[in-house]
Amino acid sequence: MIIGERIRLLREQKKLSQGDIEKRTGLLRCYISRVENGHTVPAIETLEKLARAMEVPLYQLFYDGEEPPELPNLPLRKSADEIAWGSTGKDARYLGRFRRLLGNIQEGDRRLLLYMAQKMAHR
């Protein structure tokens, strides 16, 4: 089913006019008509406004069943912390030890170490 047809069907089931939706969303009635007739594809923000105006969850604009669809069992994505070097395992222990040692040296020596590390990294 085309999204515009689904929006019209839901609006009519709720016994709302395009004018009612216009008042609730701030969208122009002519724009709502263009969406319902398939002349315009609304942005996700617009779909959220329409769902809120019709007092339905957003998924119902895409899905015809009574209950939300089953979510696929997707593998979890790694966060930036998990990807970063030194965030887990042996690298984390190594980095923690290095941090403790850096805390015990003078500021000038820390700057010298940083300068040397930058030169080594650019090779």
pLDDT in tens, 28-56: 999 999 999 999 999 999 999 999 999 99
- DSSP letters, 51-71, are HHHTT--GGGGT--SSSPPPP
- Kindly report the pTM of this predicted structure: 0.55
Cβ burial of 50 (10 Å; 0-12, 13-18, 19+) is buried
**Local confidence band at 106 (pLDDT 50, 70, 90 cut-offs):** very high
Average pLDDT, the chain: 89
Tokens for 21, please give them: 């939706």
Give per-residue pLDDT as tens, 52-80: 999 999 988 888 777 777 777 878 877 77
Q: From residue 22, give the alpha-carbon distance in Å to each of 7, 25, 49, 56, 97.
A: 13, 5, 10, 16, 62
d(CA 83, CA 77): 10
